[in-house]
């Protein structure tokens, strides 16, 4: 134990001697009093680190052993680097995982939007003072004008002339019939009578051109009613370039004429929910027409949205849902324009803008339709993990919740407004929210400009940045129907109409003989949740920060055996290397006066250490337990004193006193 002690004391002497030398040479000393250098710092790190392989390289006595351990360490570092690169690349790609969870609670009832398939109320349109062109088109489209032959009970499709529609007799069939009659008239004999009868009773031969149904409206020129309609753009290579359907063209002309009417007047000319609603109940409690909010559309006219914050479903099944009985006012339908009976409905998330044409479904009249709902909520991640939209800015700007379709409509509208200075028909609501003074695109230049902008988005030449909403509610629907009402119950419903409007009751009673015509005026709608269970589809980060750190630590520990504390050792080594380089560079730039001052302070420190060693020597020299090692201690002190002599200029008298003091301590030395 005494030998180790004196070895440490020699190191202190070396520190004294090395201190003076280091200061003179511009080097520094470590915590053990040894001369600082990069090699010594690395050697010290190799002795103490817990990093696998490095201590073996430092302590190996044979060169090939060092070489093997260096090779293994380099291979491990390379494999660890590849492993870490994979982990970093995987983590910073921000992958997500989708999980489906099940929940159970009371559910908020969705919004229900109901539209009569008939756009304009016939009686209201007849009383309206304007819209003459629209009225002309409606009159032209009446079935008795389009297909007059079918309203003539005496019309025979095989006769030469059609009493109701003369222009339909022109063509190959009439010419062929005329040729047959001419040939039969010039022939004599008994065959003449046979040929004449054959001409009247046998249909034309295969050379007759059959008129297709789509050509029924060929006599109506849509451009007459929509003169500012822009020309159709040339089709793309992947786009079908067939002939435009005449009925579609007429429907577009009707929509344009309908939108030319003032917005307030359009609402008055359509069907009103207060005239359509016979019964309304939710969860067994009565609701009324005042709970419905008006919403205008191009395709369906007046639509009515039912929404109430207190509509909470606490029981599954039809009894806990919504029940509606609607009177469709079939006698006020526009003949030829409206081609079916019923309503268009949409079930959508509360607060969202309805799109019954794109996202709704038809509910036929004279039927009871039950729609069972299943709630599905979708939660998406934003930021680095995904691209979704919370929609707060959109809702503040347009007053409705964000959806992708609403975003697309508003995006195209803003482009049309900025390019053409007007708005399109189908984005009237957003145009009002954007700027109430905006007007519709009506002139040929404006409609052509509008069509050009819309064409750019159709062909993907321009795109709208409309990501999915971060929170979305979807309703999965199951539909069932039955024939409704019975003949007797139809009369009960008729009584409700009579209590509401005497004039409508009088007109409707004329249909009592035709039970089907009476039933076509009514429909029943049941909307409910099938159960209170709901699905939650959520996105989660596939790799959390905790898992990422665990993977990185596992990779480092697997290949080179480092832990967090071992990494701190590496960090300390780097700090010491940086400190050594910075301090050495600073010392080399320091002036000579500064170095002399440091040497003075170092000499003072050496004298203090010398006095401390003398005190230690006196203590151990007077202790009998250490007398048998006296000679070793003496040699150790003499070595240290000689080192200090070279380290700093200490007077020889001090060194002689220190050396002679070992023999003048009151007892004889063992040597």
Q: Inform me whether the pLDDT recorded for 199 exceeds 90.
A: no
What is the rounded distance in angstroms from the CA atom of residue 141 to the CA atom of residue 139? 5
Asked which of 200-204, 385-389, 391-395, 665-669 is least confident by mean pLDDT, the reply is: 665-669
Q: What pLDDT does 174 receive?
A: 40
Q: What pLDDT does 587 receive?
A: 73
Q: What pLDDT does 609 receive?
A: 65
Q: Give the burial string for 55-64 (b: 16+ CB within 10 Å, else e).
A: bbbbeeeeee
Q: What pLDDT does 208 receive?
A: 47
What is the rounded distance in angstroms from the CA atom of residue 300 to the CA atom of residue 119? 5
Q: Is the peptide bond before 327 cis (omega within 30 degrees of 0)?
A: no
Q: What pLDDT does 166 receive?
A: 44
CB atoms within 10 A of CB 340: 11
Asked which of 47-61, 158-172, 353-367 is least confident by mean pLDDT, the reply is: 158-172
Q: Inform me whether the pLDDT recorded for 296 exceeds 60.
A: yes
Which tokens sit at 193?
A: 């009578």
Which tokens sit at 92?
A: 């910073």
Which are the contacts of 187, defined by CB distance < 8 A and separation ≥ 6? 195
Torsion of CA 391, 393, 399, 405, to 10 degrees: -40
Q: Inform me whether the pLDDT recorded for 189 exceeds 80.
A: no
Helices (H), 369-434: 392-398, 404-420, 428-434
Average pLDDT over residues 374-396: 94
Cβ atoms of 475 and 345 within 8 Å: the answer is no
Q: Inform me whether the pLDDT recorded for 380 exceeds 60.
A: yes
Q: Count Cβ atoms within 10 A of the Cβ of residue 221 and give its class: 0-12 exposed, 13-18 middle, 19 or more buried.
A: middle
Average pLDDT over residues 35-49: 78
Residue 124, helix vs strand vs coil: helix
Q: Inform me whether the pLDDT recorded for 511 exceeds 60.
A: yes
- Bridge partner residues of 286 (DSSP): 281
Which run of H or of E encompasses 100? Answer: strand 96-104
Which run of H or of E encompasses 114? Answer: strand 111-116
Residue 660, helix vs strand vs coil: helix
Residue 120, helix vs strand vs coil: coil
Which are the contacts of 10, defined by CB distance < 8 A and separation ≥ 6? 636, 639, 640
Q: What is the 3-state secondary structure (H, E, C) of 442-489?
A: CCHHHHHHHHHHHHHHHCCCCCCCCCEECEEEEEEEEEEEEECCCHHH
Report the mean per-residue pLDDT for the chain. 81
Termini Cα distance of the chain: 20
Q: What pLDDT does 632 receive?
A: 55
Give the pLDDT band (50/70/90) at residue 664: very low
Helices (H), 141-171: 143-146
Cβ atoms of 200 and 181 within 8 Å: the answer is no
pLDDT > 70 in the chain, percent? 74
Which run of H or of E encompasses 378? Answer: strand 367-379
What is the rounded distance in angstroms from the CA atom of residue 400 to the CA atom of residue 352? 5
Cβ atoms of 516 and 503 within 8 Å: the answer is no
pLDDT in tens, 87-101: 999 999 999 999 999
Cβ atoms of 178 and 170 within 8 Å: the answer is no
Q: Inform me whether the pLDDT recorded for 548 exceeds 80.
A: yes
pLDDT in tens, 309-362: 999 999 999 999 999 999 999 999 999 999 999 999 999 999 999 999 999 999
Q: What pLDDT does 186 receive?
A: 36
Q: What pLDDT does 603 receive?
A: 58
Q: What pLDDT does 469 receive?
A: 96
Which tokens sit at 371?
A: 């729609």
| Strands 107-108 vs 301-306: parallel, antiparallel or unpaired | unpaired
Closest Cα to residue 317, out of 276, 268, 374? 374
Average pLDDT over residues 156-175: 51
Asked which of 59-63, 197-201, 226-230 is least confident by mean pLDDT, the reply is: 197-201
Closest Cα to residue 524, out of 384, 641, 369? 369
pLDDT in tens, 558-608: 888 888 787 788 888 888 888 888 887 877 776 555 555 555 555 566 666
Average pLDDT over residues 515-525: 94
Asked which of 2-6, 378-382, 553-557, 638-642 is least confident by mean pLDDT, the reply is: 2-6
How far out from the chain centre does Cα 266 lie? 37
- The number of helices, as runs of H, and strands, as runs of E, in the chain is 26, 17
Q: Inform me whether the pLDDT recorded for 539 exceeds 90.
A: yes
Q: Inform me whether the pLDDT recorded for 216 exceeds 70.
A: no
Closest Cα to residue 176, out of 202, 153, 148, 146? 202
Closest Cα to residue 122, out of 272, 270, 262? 270
Report which DSSP code applies to 49: -
Q: What pLDDT does 413 receive?
A: 96
What is the rounded distance in angstroms from the CA atom of residue 275 to the CA atom of residue 533? 37
Asked which of 76-80, 189-193, 452-456 is least confident by mean pLDDT, the reply is: 189-193
pLDDT in tens, 402-443: 999 999 999 999 999 999 999 999 999 999 999 989 999 999
Which run of H or of E encompasses 266? Answer: helix 263-269
What is the rounded distance in angstroms from the CA atom of residue 101 to the CA atom of residue 510? 57
Which are the contacts of 233, defined by CB distance < 8 A and separation ≥ 6? 451, 452, 455
Q: What pLDDT does 207 receive?
A: 46
Ramachandran quadrant class, 464 (left: phi over 0; alpha: psi -120 to 50; beta: rest) = beta
**Between 617 and 564, residue with greater pLDDT:** 564
Which tokens sit at 597?
A: 């001052």
Which are the contacts of 267, defined by CB distance < 8 A and separation ≥ 6? 294, 296, 302
What is the rounded distance in angstroms from the CA atom of residue 546 to the CA atom of residue 538? 20
pLDDT in tens, 13-28: 444 444 444 444 444 5
Torsion of CA 662, 668, 669, 671, to 10 degrees: 130
Cα dist. 540→97, 381, 468 in Å?
A: 5, 7, 16
Which run of H or of E encompasses 534? Answer: strand 533-541
Q: What pLDDT does 33 receive?
A: 58
How far out from the chain centre does Cα 407 lie? 12
Q: Give the burial string for 8-40 (b: 16+ CB within 10 Å, else e).
A: ebbebbbbbbbbbbbbeeebbbbeebebbeeee
């Amino acid at each position: 134990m005494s030998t180790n002690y004196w070895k440490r004391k020699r190191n202190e002497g070396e520190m004294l001697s090395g201190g003076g030398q280091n200061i003179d040479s511009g080097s520094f000393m470590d915590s053990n009093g040894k001369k600082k250098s990069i090699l010594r710092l690395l050697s010290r790190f190799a002795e103490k680190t817990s990093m696998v392989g490095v201590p073996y390289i430092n302590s190996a006595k044979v060169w090939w052993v060092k070489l093997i351990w260096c090779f293994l360490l380099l291979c491990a570092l390379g494999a660890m680097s590849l492993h870490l690169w994979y982990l970093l690349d995987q983590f910073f790609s921000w992958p997500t995982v989708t999980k489906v969870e099940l929940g159970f609670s009371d559910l908020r009832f969705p919004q229900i939007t109901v539209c009569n398939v008939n756009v304009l109320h016939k009686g209201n349109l007849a009383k309206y003072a304007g819209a003459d062109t629209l009225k002309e088109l409606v009159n032209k489209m009446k079935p008795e004008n389009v297909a007059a032959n079918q309203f003539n009970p005496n019309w025979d499709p095989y006769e030469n002339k059609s009493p109701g529609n003369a222009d339909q007799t022109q063509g190959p069939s009439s010419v062929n019939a005329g040729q047959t009659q001419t040939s039969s008239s010039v022939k004599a004999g008994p065959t003449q009578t046979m040929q004449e009868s054959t001409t009247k009773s046998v249909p034309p031969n295969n050379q007759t051109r059959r008129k297709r149904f789509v050509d029924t409206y060929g006599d109506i020129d849509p451009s007459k009613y929509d003169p500012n309609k822009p020309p159709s753009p040339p089709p793309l290579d992947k786009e079908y370039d067939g002939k435009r359907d005449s009925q579609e063209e007429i429907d577009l002309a009707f929509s344009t004429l309908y939108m030319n009417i003032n917005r307030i007047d359009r609402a008055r000319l359509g069907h009103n929910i207060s005239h359509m609603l016979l019964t309304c109940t939710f969860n067994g409690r009565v609701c009324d027409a005042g709970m419905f909010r008006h919403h205008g559309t191009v395709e369906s006219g007046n639509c009515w949205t039912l929404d109430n914050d207190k509509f909470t479903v606490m029981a599954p099944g039809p009894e806990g849902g919504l029940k509606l009985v609607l009177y469709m006012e079939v006698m006020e339908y526009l003949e030829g324009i409206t081609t079916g009976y019923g309503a268009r409905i949409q079930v959508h998330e509360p607060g969202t803008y309805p799109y019954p044409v794109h996202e709704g479904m038809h509910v036929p009249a004279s039927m009871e339709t039950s729609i069972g709902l299943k709630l599905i909520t979708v939660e998406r991640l934003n930021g680095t993990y995904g691209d979704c939209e919370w929609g707060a800015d959109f809702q503040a700007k347009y007053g409705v919740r964000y959806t992708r379709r609403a975003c697309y409509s508003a995006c195209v509208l803003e482009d049309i407004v900025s390019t053409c200075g007007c708005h399109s028909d189908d984005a009237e609501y957003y145009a009002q929210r954007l700027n109430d003074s905006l007007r519709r695109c009506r002139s040929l230049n404006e409609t052509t400009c509008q069509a050009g902008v819309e064409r750019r988005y159709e062909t993907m030449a321009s795109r709208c940045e409309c990501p999915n909403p971060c929170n979305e509610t979807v309703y999965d629907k199951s539909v069932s129907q039955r024939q409704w009402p019975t003949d007797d119950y139809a009369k009960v419903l008729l009584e409700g109409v009579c209590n509401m409007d005497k004039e409508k009751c009088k007109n409707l009673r004329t249909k009592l003989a035709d039970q089907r015509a009476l039933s076509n005026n009514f429909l029943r709608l049941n909307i409910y949740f099938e159960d209170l269970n709901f699905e939650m589809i959520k996105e989660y980060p596939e790799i959390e920060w905790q898992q990422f750190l665990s993977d990185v630590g596992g990779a480092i520990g697997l290949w080179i055996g480092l832990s967090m504390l071992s990494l701190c050792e590496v960090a300390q080594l780097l700090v010491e290397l940086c400190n050594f380089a910075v301090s050495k560079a600073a010392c080399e730039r320091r002036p000579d006066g500064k170095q002399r001052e440091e040497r003075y302070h170092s000499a003072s420190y050496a004298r203090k250490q010398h006095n401390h060693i003398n005190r230690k020597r006196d203590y151990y020299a007077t202790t009998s337990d250490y007398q048998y090692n006296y000679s070793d201690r003496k040699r150790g002190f003499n070595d240290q004193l000689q080192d200090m002599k070279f380290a700093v200029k200490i007077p020889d008298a001090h060194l002689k006193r220190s050396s002679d003091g070992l023999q003048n301590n009151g007892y004889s030395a063992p040597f």
